[in-house]
Structure 1
Amino acid sequence: MEFTITLLPPLNAATGVTARAALTALACLLVSCSSAPPPSLVTPSPAVTRPAQPAKPTTPTITPQQPVRGVWLATVSRLDWPPVNSVTASSAAQRIAQQQQALIAKLDKLKTLGINTVFFQVKPDGTALWRSKILPWSDMLTGKIGDDPGYDPLQFMLDEAHKRGMKVHAWFNPYRVAVNTKPSTVAELNRTLSLRPASVFVLHPDWIRTAGDRYVLDPGIPDARDWITSIVAEVVSRYPVDGVQFDDYFYAETPGSALNDAQSFKTWGQGFSSKADWRRHNTQLLIEQVSRTIKQLKPEVEFGVSPAGVWRNLSWDPAGSDTRGAAAYDEAYADTRRWVQQGLLDYIAPQLYWPFARQAARYDVLARWWANVVRPTHTRLYIGVALYKVGAASKNEPDWTVGGGVPELKKQLDLNDALPEINGTILFRENYLNQPQTEDAVRYLRSRWGE
């Protein structure tokens, strides 16, 4: 998920890009930035109402009209769960009990806060938090890639959340293979060659690239995209998940993390005038085929993406927002606005991780921009809010500490409730609900959302 904002300089003669920006804007007006949404490619319009099915005892009780009050629960690097010290428990039984009790405690607290949807990270890298036939078990659970944890964390999460009337969306990082390239990590990945299943790192080394200090899959390789789609299909077909979500990491893992895909471009990029257009095409293909696959398997399962908050800046595109932030279209090669217009997503959850006073990317400017994007479509809009900044001192964003961050949080939630196009709020991320700096904000959330 996005943690920082990369500011782009205002365009002027000194930058040497004014002419290029003008040409880009003109081309956009002529080709890709029409205000009329293109027809839906994959997801059918929700005009036909399916007969109501009898409710099962464990199905969530959320109605479609109830706003989403969600939270992201990250497992990468054990940020939110499982407990870091659980992997050194004296026995497997103690480890399992510690992990399960911790998750139950989290869900109980979320319930009291009025949270009704958990976005649970099931694929933090090239490993799984479910019993997969494609990916090895995550080392987040046991300390070693491929070691059976003795239970199925995704199924446990689904059972416990559904008991409490909460929905669960399976959160995938589609392309990440490993969060670092250390020799010890390489050795651990190579060790999986004797396992079933083994890591993609050893099964398909030709798919692997480095982005910054991380191993990722090359999005330009068709087989790699098919492989990702098969992973989503495995979860959707075998588990009663309420939704599937991709985060914002497509091409860029970190600012400036260049991907060496020259050979892939040479092989598959014929007919594209630029590598950037080809990369966006590759991301588009992944979203299309994942959307189509989910709807073919289980039409009721929602598919959404949580992109960086800025699609494009107005200085580069007349359809963009009045911002100066790193743009998903240009940095991650993700044309998120187009996915909404084409009906490829059931929902989009842009990460608007800035306060009202941040001029480069004002919260209200971006919230209203996204509301305008979804208005003529059937795509629902949830807003990602920066809980991790609440109460934290910041030179550029001091409003997060005023009154414990409650006034800023209240303004953001008030705007979300006031705009009819916004159907919910998602907090990033769960463990910040348990930190001293957010105590005032948590009390406020409980008074506003709690039962």
Structure 2
Amino acid sequence: MESIISTSRCFALAAKVKTLGCLVAAALLLASCASKPPVSLVTPVAKPLPLKPLQHQEPVRGVWLTTVSRLDWPPVASVNISNAASRIRQQQAALKHKLDNLKSLGINTVFFQVKPDGTALWASKILPWSDTLTGKIGADPGYDPLQFMLDEAHKRGIKVHAWFNPYRVSTNTKPSTVAELNRTLSDRPPSVFVLHRDWIRTSGERFVLDPGIPEVRDWITSIVAEVVSRYAVDGVQFDDYFYTETPASRINDSETFQQYGQGFAAKADWRRNNTEQLIEQVSRTIKQLKPEVEFGVSPAGVWRNRSFDPAGSDTRGAAAYDESFADTRKWVQQGLLDYIAPQLYWPFARDAARYDVLAKWWADVVRPTHTRLYIGVALYKVGEFSKKEPDWTINGGVPELKKQLDLNESLPQINGTILFREDHLNQPQTQEAVRYLRSRWGN
């Protein structure tokens, strides 16, 4: 989920810079002379929503619990246990142990990855069972992990948000993965890979769904609806993987654009509209089913850089608007989200994307709206040596972590902090920071 600082975007958008150069300069000049906030080049001025009293809500102290590639859970060794009852006991015991630890740290919300790819960690009628549980796609694990998580977390007073990766079908394109996906054809349900092969594209050495196909967006919405209608989840979250490309592996959606892109001069604008349609559709569906269930997105921390847009942040980072085709600022302005949780995975001293600059920028974005703001913090960097970000290793990373939490609590628009990710709470290099978190947040 890390947003990587990048200058490659300069090459990708060079043509746009040339055509917009004078306009950007003029807009920046006007912005510097006015007291009003700068006007975006791409997002219309949003009419402020009428203020209404917000219900008192405890600040979120959250953590992402990842299941893709078994990064946080379930235990890798559990998959090799041949006895089903023993495997279930080990997986459930590991999850309860994690929840006990999170409770002692003062964590009150877990963002649990229930759809890591094209598979499910619940008893779905749409997706096959995840191979993270048994080692085989479609194999019944013998229990319902999402229901177990909900029961155990709620018992401890911890909320659970079901975290979805909307478009990833697989984490690689190996022949063995293709063969395993093809073997699900006789399963009920089979993988989308074999059920709708025409929806599948390749990007970044992964199989992904093509978001430009309306039926794909409907299908994703139906998956969210299944979870919200059948389980007592407290929220639903999408991560930052919308259009995920690398320079060497672009999504080949030219035919899709030709078929569905009427009215759009540029493919980039069409892509952003596709993503927005998905967000709006999912948001509306959740509110129709259970209005009390929160819907949020955790995007890359930079919406746009000020060098490209006067309304952007004073940063030089990979931008969600330009690289993931996600106009995250607009979603907030339109009231499509209950919360937004940008991933601000940099220290105060990282000049290209300063933590404080971005936190304050996002606070300004949500200020006139009803959207709550939670900040994603890079626990995974704590204690890890980095030439560009040495602050993460000074005194175990505690001073940097303290500055970030202090800032979050000092800005009234910031309603919480989410740590990425759970297993890093158990690593030797983070233990000074974990002790600090326990003293600050713990019961």
Superposition TM-score tier, normalisation by shorter sequence: over 0.9
Structure 1 residue matching 2:335: 3-state secondary structure: coil
Alignment pair present for 1:5 and 2:10: no
User: How far is the alpha carbon of 1:252 from its aligned partner?
Assistant: 1.2
d(CA) in 2 for partners of 1:184 and 1:325? 36
Q: Is the 8 A contact 2:300 2:343 kept in 1?
A: yes
User: How far is the alpha carbon of 1:2 from its aligned partner?
Assistant: 1.9
Q: Equivalent of 1:437, from 415, 418, 429?
A: 429
User: How far is the alpha carbon of 1:277 from its aligned partner?
Assistant: 0.2
Q: How does 1:48-127 map to 2 (within 5 A)?
A: 64-127=56-119
Q: How does 1:141-290 map to 2 (within 5 A)?
A: 141-252=133-244, 257-290=249-282
Q: Which runs of 5+ in 1 are unaligned?
A: 50-62
2:142 partner amino acid: G
Q: Is the 8 A contact 1:309 1:351 kept in 2?
A: yes
CA offsets 1:156-185 (integer angstroms, 9 cap, x no match) = 000000000000000000000000000000
CA offsets 1:334-382 (integer angstroms, 9 cap, x no match) = 0000000000000000000000000000000000000000000000000
1:6 partner amino acid: S
Alignment pair present for 1:32 and 2:24: no
Q: Which residue of 2 aligns with 1:383?
A: 375
- Mark the CA change 1:319 to 1:256 in structure 2 (over 3 Å): closer, same or farther: farther
User: How far is the alpha carbon of 1:254 from its aligned partner?
Assistant: 5.2
Q: Equivalent of 1:308, from 300, 311, 314?
A: 300
Could you say what the CA RMSD is over the residues aligned between the two structures, in angstroms? Answer: 2.0
1:37 partner amino acid: A
CA offsets 1:230-260 (integer angstroms, 9 cap, x no match) = 0000000000000000000000155654110
d(CA) in 1 for partners of 2:63 and 2:213? 33
Q: Is the 8 A contact 1:127 1:135 kept in 2?
A: yes
d(CA) in 2 for partners of 1:211 and 1:111? 38
1:400 partner amino acid: W
Structure 2 residue matching 1:177: 3-state secondary structure: coil
User: How far is the alpha carbon of 1:21 from its aligned partner?
Assistant: 3.8
Q: Is the 8 A contact 2:79 2:87 kept in 1?
A: yes
Structure 2 residue matching 1:176: 3-state secondary structure: coil
Q: Is the 8 A contact 1:24 1:316 kept in 2?
A: no
Structure 1 residue matching 2:400: 3-state secondary structure: helix
d(CA) in 2 for partners of 1:294 and 1:448? 34
1:19 partner amino acid: K
d(CA) in 1 for partners of 2:435 and 2:399? 13
1:32 partner amino acid: V
Alignment pair present for 1:402 and 2:394: yes
d(CA) in 1 for partners of 2:316 and 2:152? 42
2:419 partner amino acid: L
Alignment pair present for 1:348 and 2:364: no
d(CA) in 1 for partners of 2:289 and 2:51? 17
Percent sequence identity is: 76
Structure 1 residue matching 2:417: 3-state secondary structure: strand
User: How far is the alpha carbon of 1:37 from its aligned partner?
Assistant: 1.9
Structure 2 residue matching 1:413: 3-state secondary structure: helix
Structure 1 residue matching 2:416: 3-state secondary structure: strand
Q: Is the 8 A contact 1:346 1:379 kept in 2?
A: yes
Q: Is the 8 A contact 2:3 2:300 kept in 1?
A: no
- Mark the CA change 1:101 to 1:46 in structure 2 (over 3 Å): closer, same or farther: farther
1:327 partner amino acid: A
- Mark the CA change 1:88 to 1:253 in structure 2 (over 3 Å): closer, same or farther: farther
Q: Equivalent of 2:132, from 136, 140, 143?
A: 140
TM-score normalized by structure 2? 0.93
Q: Which residue of 2 aligns with 1:57?
A: none
Q: Is the 8 A contact 2:166 2:238 kept in 1?
A: yes
User: How far is the alpha carbon of 1:32 from its aligned partner?
Assistant: 3.4
Structure 1 residue matching 2:169: 3-state secondary structure: strand
d(CA) in 2 for partners of 1:212 and 1:239? 33
Structure 2 residue matching 1:381: 3-state secondary structure: strand
d(CA) in 1 for partners of 2:274 and 2:71? 30
Q: Which residue of 1 aligns with 2:31?
A: none
d(CA) in 2 for partners of 1:73 and 1:378? 27
- Mark the CA change 1:177 to 1:17 in structure 2 (over 3 Å): closer, same or farther: closer
CA offsets 1:381-421 (integer angstroms, 9 cap, x no match) = 00000000000000110110001000000000000000000
d(CA) in 2 for partners of 1:130 and 1:85? 21
Q: Which residue of 2 aligns with 1:416?
A: 408
d(CA) in 1 for partners of 2:203 and 2:112? 24
Q: Is the 8 A contact 1:307 1:351 kept in 2?
A: yes
User: How far is the alpha carbon of 1:215 from its aligned partner?
Assistant: 0.2
CA offsets 1:261-313 (integer angstroms, 9 cap, x no match) = 00000000011010000000000000000000000000000000000000000
Q: How many residue pairs are counted as aligned between the two chains? A: 430
1:129 partner amino acid: L
d(CA) in 2 for partners of 1:440 and 1:338? 39
2:4 partner amino acid: T
TM-score normalized by structure 1? 0.92
d(CA) in 2 for partners of 1:318 and 1:242? 36
